[in-house]
Amino acid sequence: MKSLAALLVCFATLFAPATLFAEEGEWRQLFNGENLDGWEHVGPGKFVIEDGALKTEGGMGLLWFASEKFGDCTIRVVFKTTKRRDNSGVYIRIADKPDDPWYAVHHGYEVQIIDGDQPLRMTGSIYSFAPAKAKPSKPSGEWNTLEITLDGNLVHTKLNGEAVADFNPADPVPKLNPRGGMGDPEPGPRPEAGYIGLQNHDEDSTVYFKEVAVKKN
């Protein structure tokens, strides 16, 4: 009997799911390419799944990962736009469960996605807080890889392997976009650990996301 029990334990170990043995520093996928398990949506518009990727429709809404908050980690998002002015973003450090998309604007930070010309509003910038220092976006229709590293209070972004923005909340807040309005986020502090989310901005913007993954730093 003892040998049979040992054999069963050995068999279970050999054929256990690989995720049980995932080491720190490995990428963990938050979007499975099939459904929105673990995610919730608030606000207008929606995300749909098309050919294994998330597709934005309408807005302004927020799709957020509701299962847990994230502190020190790197977030990898693979996305593509369909035209130059498509607008979206990746939200980080959302302080609490959002009841509407504006909560994320004022109680989180947005890493912008748009091929604009204003450094504080360009892909890879921390919207209104830290400008993009480079513009390594690929043409519309091609996949881009955005990496967002959370290190304590600090945020660093890379786009297609090139450093884009560095944000320290202790730095002075830049002058906001002259248009002003409710789109300008509150400058107050954010928690070091928070929820993350994706923005569906408006009916004229179509952005696809085929990967949302995290790994511990």
Report how far residue 113's alpha carbon sits from residue 161's, in angstroms, rounded to the nearest whole number.
Answer: 16
User: Using the 8-state DSSP alphabet, how is residue 170 labeled?
Assistant: T
What separation, in Å, do the N-terminal and C-terminal C-alpha atoms of the chain show?
45
Q: What are phi and psi of 102, to 5 degrees?
A: -70, -20
β 61-65/39-42 pair status: antiparallel
User: How many other CB atoms are there within 10 angstroms of residue 97's CB atom?
Assistant: 12
**Token pair belonging to 3:** 């040998």
Mean pLDDT over 54-65 rounds to 97
Q: H or E segment at 103?
A: helix 101-107
Which residue segments constitute the domains of the chain, with CATH numbers given? 25-216 (2.60.120.560)
Q: How confident is the model at residue 6 (pLDDT cuts 50, 70, 90)?
A: very low
Task: Report pLDDT digits (tens) over 112-130.
Answer: 999 988 999 999 999 999 9
Residue 44 exposure: Cα atoms within 13 Å on the Cβ side: 7
Give the predicted TM-score (pTM) of the model. 0.86
* pLDDT surpassing 90 at residue 181: no
Per the listing, tokens 């390419």 go with 33
What was the pLDDT predicted at 117? 87
Position 7 pLDDT exceeds 50: no
Cα torsion 74, 217, 150, 30 to 10°: value is 40
Q: Is the pLDDT of residue 3 over 70?
A: no
Note whether 199 and 61 are within 8 A (CB). yes
Residue 17 has pLDDT above 50, yes or no: no
Dump pLDDT digits (tens) for 199-210.
999 999 999 999
For residues 61 and 179, what is the distance between their CA atoms, to the nearest angstrom?
21
Mean pLDDT of the chain, nearest integer: 88
- In whole angstroms, what is the distance from residue 154 CA to residue 74 CA? 12
| Distances from the Cα of 128 to the Cα of 49, 71, 110, 180, 205, angstroms | 30, 22, 9, 10, 20
- Under the banding of pLDDT at 50, 70 and 90, the label for residue 23 is low
Residue 81 has a pLDDT of: 98
Cβ atoms within 10 Å, residue 187: 13
Q: pLDDT > 90: what percent of the chain?
A: 80
